[in-house]
Structure 1
Amino acid sequence: MSQHELRTVTVTRYITPLREGGSLPALAEADDDFKYVLKFRGAGHGVKALIAELIGGEIARVLGLKVPELVFANLDEAFGRTEGDEEIQDLLQGSQGLNLALHFLSGAITFDPVVTLVDPALASKIVWLDAFITNVDRTFRNTNMLIWNKELWLIDHGAALYFHHSWTNHEKQAKSPFALIKDHVLLPQATQLEEADKEAKTLLTEDRIREIINLIPDTWLEWEGYDESAQELREAYTRFLLTRLAHTENFIKEAQDAGKALI
């Protein structure tokens, strides 16, 4: 399997909803006998949340950060018909076809910043990633990180790339500093952002970015009310990320200033 291919599994068993997630993800089992945290295309933000999850997770992986394996998860049309909960049945029926799932890290515990101090180099990489992909959701209230086998793992990037919800002024938004970085749970430890920036730019080449964007299935790029083709939408995501990569000084300065304000 090349650097950027995702496996496709078929969901065989819906185990339980994970109600701590706003989009009602679920623990499920697939035909490879592994358990997954399943994110549904029929949930609140639809396929755009799955696209953000896919792009954010795979960019994190390129940067050498630990992310559970992402897979495409197929739900066939018969799935969920016997589900007793009407809300869940509607979600399953509205999510036929390809969804996204993360390998379930059994026994993992939620990262607690009071208990675990993160190394400045690692903290800086994670803050850099979240400023780059405009991820609003790695705060003290909701860290979206797990400790598994004594290592830090990143989960849940569905709230990233929020420019795609309005889909206007891509260029302006790509160059924006990302003020919400001030709420990042690891900002106090992120004292090596310039070093993280140099390393990220050597790893995150244009080819790598295009490989990741090309993973997005065509069926996730059929947006109601939009005339662009799937390939045109992929190109817009690619341009956004390449422009942002060319102007990292904007969000690095914002993060550094926010970090100083904490002292």
Structure 2
Amino acid sequence: MLKEVIATRFITPLREGGSLPGLVEADDLAAYVLKFTGAGQGRKTLVAEVVCGELARRLGLRVPRLVTVELDSVLGLGEPDQQVQDLLRSSGGTNLGMDFLSGALGFDPLAFPVDRAEAGRIVWFDALINNVDRSWRNPNLLMHRGDLWLIDHGATMIWHHNWPSAEASAARPYDASDHALARFRPDIAAAA
């Protein structure tokens, strides 16, 4: 079960990514990246975040801790951006948050080396969950205190948006040619 917190302050929108997450402070005085229930991708992306994020954690991969965040829609009244105000207003109630990794840097495969074993475990995991969103253009990986962290699993398990196609989707081979870690020659066999 995920820890429950209450958002006490909306800090800022994070304009990286299609879902427009935001940074909030909660009643436990921690900062969280908030994924809104009112975002265009819908609640199923938040389900994928929880299922795949917790699965990654149980497989020993680094993923920010997930929490449920109660959001009072009035927190957005002072936000000058109308799009963000609308998102906050439509997301009152329970939302999904993840620990904010202060000081983390976006992963750049040219700047940060990754060993074959770790690359293999991540690519294997992405194949398992059918992650279509961890390319070199949008790696959804962070470097935090020298470690590689996985973030943003909303574009996984895409078959659960259309259950009649789930079996065919599961049978398709995973294409890792564009994966953010492909250049590190991931050891998929060892990961399997």
- Give the alignment's TM-score, normalised by structure 2: 0.94
Q: Distance in 2 between matches of 1:137 and 1:126?
A: 13
Q: Distance in 2 between matches of 1:72 and 1:80?
A: 18
Asked if 1 retains the 8 angstrom alpha-carbon contact of 2:130 and 2:174, the reply is yes
More strand by share: 2
Counterparts in 2 of 1:7-46, with a 5 A limit? 7-46=3-42
Q: Which runs of 5+ in 2 are unaligned?
A: none
User: Aligned-residue CA RMSD in angstroms?
Assistant: 1.4
Counterparts in 2 of 1:190-209, with a 5 A limit? 190-197=185-192
Match of 2:93 among 80, 84, 97: 97
Bigger Rg, which one = 1
Match of 1:169 among 154, 157, 165: 165
**Runs of 4+, deviation exceeding 6 Å:** none
Asked if 2 retains the 8 angstrom alpha-carbon contact of 1:9 and 1:31, the reply is yes
Residue 217 of structure 1 corresponds to none
Residue 235 of structure 1 corresponds to none
More helix by share: 1
Q: Distance in 1 between matches of 2:142 and 2:179?
A: 15
Match of 1:184 among 175, 179, 186: 179
Amino acid at match of 1:193: I
Tell me by how many angstroms 1:190 deviates. Answer: 4.1
Asked if 2 retains the 8 angstrom alpha-carbon contact of 1:146 and 1:152, the reply is yes
The answer to whether 1:64 aligns with 2:57 is: no
Amino acid at match of 1:144: N
Tell me by how many angstroms 1:166 deviates. Answer: 2.5
Amino acid at match of 1:194: A
Q: Which runs of 5+ in 1 are unaligned?
A: 198-263
Cα-to-partner distance string for 1:83-113 (whole Å, 9 max, x where unaligned): 3322111101111111111100111111110
Residue 182 of structure 1: SS of its match in structure 2? coil
Quick one: structure 1 residues 27 and 193, their matched pair in 2 at CA, closer, same or farther if it must change by over 3 Å? same
- Give the alignment's TM-score, normalised by structure 1: 0.70
Tell me by how many angstroms 1:62 deviates. Answer: 0.8
Asked if 2 retains the 8 angstrom alpha-carbon contact of 1:12 and 1:30, the reply is yes
Asked if 2 retains the 8 angstrom alpha-carbon contact of 1:121 and 1:190, the reply is no
Match of 1:80 among 76, 82, 85: 76
